């Protein structure tokens, strides 16, 4: 799928179509299943994937330092296992003619096989009973040669044996070039394979074609001009690419043409220094290891190799980890020094969601039994040996509202396409519901016919609108819908709900059949408040004032006087309480209202001119005629806080002199007036403060 459906600014819905990639699993170039269900490696280790969960035993007769290989039939029944220079049948007995075999070595005592990835097995396209066992010299041998032997399972009473005439067939003598311990296999275009060897100086990729005519002795040579290191080498068959360790410290990524055997578009991925790595089942994620951690890289960012390197995420600790191998159960198994085999549970998922279990198996043997042991290469499926026309079942797919679906090539390697409308591209964009078909092929080997029925499904409402919660409270985000099969939240949890108590944006991805939808919700935190807008104040006897309150919760306001609303009239002294109730509880604020005889409140001028002209020469509060103050005092201060004048007589004001002596400077002065009148409470004086301007 390409594109997405944007419903709101904060909501993006995406639809995936994994069903497209499962229609013709038998015709896809993918990891063989039954052929890889029995692993034999290292010092007698054996993992059996015919059980659920897989089982571990130390019942193998294998004893090797590093590389090994084992192959089963399509039903998972063990056929044989090998370290290149030795081959054992399914009962653990060395095959009669498997003596004196050359290739992977050297040996120390009874332990052999020191090549990291020096052993590979390929089925013979011309004979379903036969397998090629490729065996390359280890670096310690200093021989730099590659041999192969042919095992025929019809010999030795069905237990298999090496065809004598095929023993130690020399395929490559690299001579001065020298071979690395990096070998691998890849699918060809039709009922054939490639066996690949990497050389040192100059660094070159030797690809030998294996078809019904046998193993070609003329390799296809590609030169990357980037020196490789001895370590893992893998060909991504789904994506037609290869990966290998390099002496530069960064892994080499290249394109691989399965028809010609040519490697091209070489480049390095930053931050990927490692000798050991594996690809996820969909080959969109790269896993590497170092001394202590397992790291993950997003290969979907290709062709931006720098971006792939920058996508590094640590998904496992507790190393050192040594080798990886993708298993038939879709998990990646990881060997760790300390005799543990861990497992990456969901390797197609980005980040910690892939879930690394560090000690899935405890391996028996010495503490170093996994020190260098490789878990083995994965075998490729035997060929069809016939031309097929494969018609898929009609598949039903959902098209999200206002979205488009890109029907892509289901069969990597196919080069010719014919769509329902006559177009010939490897993909087709669909914007409307309907039934669509495509015929595709690579050559006369197989013709594929795929049909798709697309229906429209509107994006479901999942989390609702952005919301707020009260400070100190928590919210439960609920994404449950009976139509959803799987949930994954922004913190990696997989329940139907998520409990949160901090502000931020949270998102959930849900699976509904073949469609995947994502939704997000922004959560804010509010601290509820209610405030009476006036401070404590006084009211004149017999008068009425209005007091107001506001709240940030948009809820109704009630007063202890029995009134309601944001503003009420009051005419009596007392304590007034405004309250509001909402999801955060009850909040309140208080106002104290006192009553005074306003007839005794003096009128205070704001300036005077003591120039002795008989007008406004004295600063003095003026009392209403009906007011008979029982107590009165007046104090004047200059801007330095010095007392300039005091009076305790209502009829004696300030004449503008400093303490009655010299004229005071023009400017602003501060006054305090205190009054206790005959009609008020004697213990509660009225205090008035303010500024007075002296003008000359």
Q: Report the DSSP pairing between strands 145-152 and 127-136.
A: antiparallel
More reliable by pLDDT, 627 or 283: 283
Q: Are residues 149 and 288 in the same domain?
A: yes
Q: Are residues 236 and 125 in the same domain?
A: yes
| CATH of residue 479 | 2.60.40.10
| CATH of residue 636 | 2.60.40
**Domain finish residue from 493, 510, 526:** 526
Q: Are residues 107 and 208 in the same domain?
A: yes
Please give the torsion angle defined by the CA atoms of residues 129, 130, 133 and 134, in that order, rounded to the nearest 10 degrees.
-140
Does some domain include residue 377? Answer: no
Report which listed range, 121-125, 185-189, 404-408, 684-688, is most confident.
121-125
User: What's the rounded mean pLDDT across residues 622-650?
Assistant: 84
pLDDT above 80: residue 256: yes
Q: How confident is the model at residue 448, as a pLDDT? A: 81
Tens digit of each residue's pLDDT (9 = 90 or more) over 331-357: 999 998 778 899 999 999 999 999 999
Does some domain include residue 370? Answer: no
Cα-based distances in Å from 207 to 30, 124, 134, 218: 20, 17, 13, 9
User: What's the rounded mean pLDDT across residues 133-162?
Assistant: 93
Q: How confident is the model at residue 628, as a pLDDT? A: 62
CB 90 within 8 A of CB 78: yes
pLDDT above 80: residue 435: yes
Q: How confident is the model at residue 443, as a pLDDT? A: 64
Q: How confident is the model at residue 300, as a pLDDT? A: 95
* Residue 112 pLDDT grade (very low, low, confident, very high; cuts 50, 70, 90): confident
Averaged pLDDT of the chain:
85
Q: How confident is the model at residue 247, as a pLDDT? A: 61
* Residue 203 pLDDT grade (very low, low, confident, very high; cuts 50, 70, 90): confident
pLDDT above 50: residue 23: no
Using CA atoms, how far apart are residues 386 and 306, in angstroms rounded to an integer? 43
Q: How confident is the model at residue 296, as a pLDDT? A: 96
Tens digit of each residue's pLDDT (9 = 90 or more) over 33-75: 799 999 999 989 999 999 999 999 999 999 888 899 999 999 9
pLDDT above 70: residue 138: yes
What is the number of structural domains in the chain? 5
Q: How confident is the model at residue 625, as a pLDDT? A: 65
Least trusted range by pLDDT, from 66-75, 99-108, 559-568: 99-108
**Domain finish residue from 488, 503, 526:** 526
Does some domain include residue 28? Answer: no
Does some domain include residue 380? Answer: no
Q: Are residues 608 and 673 in the same domain?
A: yes
pLDDT above 80: residue 19: no
Does some domain include residue 423? Answer: yes
Using CA atoms, how far apart are residues 11 and 14, in angstroms rounded to an integer? 10
Q: Are residues 494 and 422 in the same domain?
A: no
Q: How confident is the model at residue 125, as a pLDDT? A: 94
More reliable by pLDDT, 457 or 380: 380
Tens digit of each residue's pLDDT (9 = 90 or more) over 350-367: 999 999 999 999 988 765
**Domain finish residue from 311, 342, 362:** 362
Name the nearest CA neighbour of 286 among 258, 311, 320, 256: 311
Q: How confident is the model at residue 6, as a pLDDT? A: 28
Using CA atoms, how far apart are residues 539 and 355, in angstroms rounded to an integer? 71
Q: Are residues 116 and 208 in the same domain?
A: yes
- SS3 state at 255: strand
Name the nearest CA neighbour of 165 among 150, 185, 153: 150
User: What's the rounded mean pLDDT across residues 586-614?
Assistant: 85
Q: Are residues 171 and 279 in the same domain?
A: yes
* Residue 411 pLDDT grade (very low, low, confident, very high; cuts 50, 70, 90): confident
- SS3 state at 598: helix
Q: Are residues 162 and 302 in the same domain?
A: yes
pLDDT above 80: residue 241: yes
Does some domain include residue 221? Answer: yes
State the CB neighbour count (10 A cutoff) for residue 131.
Answer: 24
Using CA atoms, how far apart are residues 685 and 675, in angstroms rounded to an integer? 6
Q: How confident is the model at residue 82, as a pLDDT? A: 97
Q: How confident is the model at residue 243, as a pLDDT? A: 87
Q: What percent of the chain has pLDDT over 70?
A: 87
Q: How confident is the model at residue 153, as a pLDDT? A: 98
More reliable by pLDDT, 149 or 291: 149
User: What's the rounded mean pLDDT across residues 102-128?
Assistant: 85
Q: Are residues 187 and 210 in the same domain?
A: yes
Q: Are residues 191 and 322 in the same domain?
A: yes
Q: Are residues 355 and 283 in the same domain?
A: yes
User: What's the rounded mean pLDDT across residues 572-581?
Assistant: 91
pLDDT above 80: residue 258: yes
User: What's the rounded mean pLDDT across residues 534-544?
Assistant: 81
pLDDT above 60: residue 385: no
- SS3 state at 559: strand
Q: How confident is the model at residue 392, as a pLDDT? A: 57
Structure tokens at 326: 């993708």
Which domain range does residue 655 map to? 603-694
Does some domain include residue 689? Answer: yes
Q: Are residues 168 and 294 in the same domain?
A: yes
Q: Which long-range contacts (CB under 8 A, 24 or more apart) does 345-351 make?
A: 347/278, 347/280, 347/281, 347/285, 347/287, 348/280, 348/281, 348/282, 348/284, 348/285, 350/285, 350/296, 350/298, 350/313, 351/296, 351/313, 351/315, 351/492
CB 561 within 8 A of CB 619: no
User: What's the rounded mean pLDDT across residues 279-292?
Assistant: 91
More reliable by pLDDT, 175 or 541: 175
How many CA atoms within 13 Å lie on the side-chain side of 278? 27
Structure tokens at 367: 């503490």
Does some domain include residue 13? Answer: no
Cα-based distances in Å from 252 to 246, 263, 303, 425, 562: 6, 11, 13, 30, 80
Tens digit of each residue's pLDDT (9 = 90 or more) over 472-492: 888 898 988 887 889 999 899
Q: What percent of the chain has pLDDT over 90?
A: 47
Please give the torsion angle defined by the CA atoms of residues 615, 619, 621 and 622, in that order, rounded to the nearest 10 degrees.
-10
Q: How confident is the model at residue 36, as a pLDDT? A: 97
Q: How confident is the model at residue 146, as a pLDDT? A: 96
């Amino acid at each position: 799928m390409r594109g997405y459906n944007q419903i709101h600014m904060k909501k993006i819905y995406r639809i995936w179509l994994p069903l497209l990639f499962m229609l013709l699993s038998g015709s896809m170039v993918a990891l063989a299943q039954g052929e890889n269900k029995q692993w034999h490696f290292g010092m007698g280790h054996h993992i059996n994937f015919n059980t659920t969960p897989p089982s571990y035993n130390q019942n193998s007769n294998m004893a090797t330092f590093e590389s090994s290989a084992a192959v089963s039939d399509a039903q998972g029944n063990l056929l044989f296992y090998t370290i290149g220079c030795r081959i054992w049948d399914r009962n653990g007995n060395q095959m009669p003619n498997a003596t004196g075999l050359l290739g992977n070595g050297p040996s120390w005592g009874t332990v052999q096989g020191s090549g990291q990835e020096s052993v590979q097995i390929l089925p013979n396209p011309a004979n379903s009973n036969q397998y090629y066992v490729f065996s390359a010299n280890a670096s310690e041998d200093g021989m730099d040669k590659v041999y192969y032997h042919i095992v025929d399972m019809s010999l030795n009473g069905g237990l298999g044996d090496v065809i004598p005439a095929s023993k130690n067939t020399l395929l490559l003598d690299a001579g001065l070039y020298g071979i690395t311990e990096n070998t691998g296999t890849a699918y060809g275009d039709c009922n054939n394979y490639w066996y690949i060897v990497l050389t040192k100086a100059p660094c070159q990729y030797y690809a030998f074609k294996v078809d019904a005519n046998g193993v070609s002795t003329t390799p296809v040579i590609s030169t990357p001009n980037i020196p490789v290191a001895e370590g893992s080498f893998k060909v991504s068959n789904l994506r037609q690419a290869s990966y290998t360790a390099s002496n530069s410290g960064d892994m080499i990524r290249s394109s691989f043409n399965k028809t010609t055997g040519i490697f091209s578009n070489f480049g390095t991925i930053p931050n990927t220094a490692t000798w050991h790595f594996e690809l996820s089942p969909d080959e969109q994620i790269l896993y590497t290891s170092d001394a202590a951690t397992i790291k993950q890289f997003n290969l979907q960012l290709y062709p931006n190799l720098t971006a792939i390197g920058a996508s590094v995420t640590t998904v496992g600790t507790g190393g050192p980890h040594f080798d990886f191998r993708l298993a038939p159960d879709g998990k990646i198994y990881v060997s760790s020094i300390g005799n543990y085999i861990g497992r990456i549970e969901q390797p197609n998922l980005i980040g910690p969601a892939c879930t690394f279990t560090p000690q899935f198996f405890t391996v028996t043997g010495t503490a170093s039994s996994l020190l260098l042991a490789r878990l083995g290469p994965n075998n490729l499926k035997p060929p069809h040996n016939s031309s097929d026309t494969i018609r898929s079942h009609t598949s039903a797919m959902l098209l999200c509202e206002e979205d488009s679906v890109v029907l892509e090539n289901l069969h990597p390697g196919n080069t010719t396409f014919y769509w329902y409308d006559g177009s010939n591209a490897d993909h087709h964009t669909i914007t409307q519901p309907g039934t669509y078909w495509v015929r595709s092929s690579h050559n006369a080997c197989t013709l594929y016919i795929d049909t798709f029925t697309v229906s429209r499904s509107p994006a479901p409402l999942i989390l609702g609108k952005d919301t707020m919660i009260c400070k100190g409270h928590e919210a439960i985000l609920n994404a449950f819908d009976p139509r959803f099969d799987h949930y994954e939240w922004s913190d990696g949890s997989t329940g139907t709900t998520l409990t949160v108590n901090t502000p931020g944006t949270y998102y959930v991805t849900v699976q509904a059949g073949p469609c995947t939808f994502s939704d997000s919700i922004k959560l804010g935190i509010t601290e509820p408040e209610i405030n009476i807008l006036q401070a404590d104040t006084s009211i004149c006897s017999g008068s009425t004032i209005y007091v107001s309150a506001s709240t940030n919760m948009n809820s109704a306001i009630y007063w202890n006087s029995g009134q309601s609303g944001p503003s009420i009239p009051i005419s009596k002294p007392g304590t007034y309480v405004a309250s509001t109730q909402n999801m955060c509880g009850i909040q309140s604020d208080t106002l104290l209202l006192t009553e005074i005889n306003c007839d005794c409140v003096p009128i205070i001028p704001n300036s005077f001119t003591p120039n002795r002209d008989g007008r406004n020469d004295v600063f003095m509060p003026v009392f209403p005629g009906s007011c008979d103050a029982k107590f009165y005092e007046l104090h004047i201060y200059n801007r330095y806080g010095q007392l300039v004048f005091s009076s305790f007589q209502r009829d004696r004001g300030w004449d503008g002199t400093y303490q009655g002596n010299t004229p005071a400077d023009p400017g602003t002065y501060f006054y305090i007036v205190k009054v206790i009148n005959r009609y008020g409470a004697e213990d509660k004086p009225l205090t008035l403060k303010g500024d007075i301007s002296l003008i000359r």
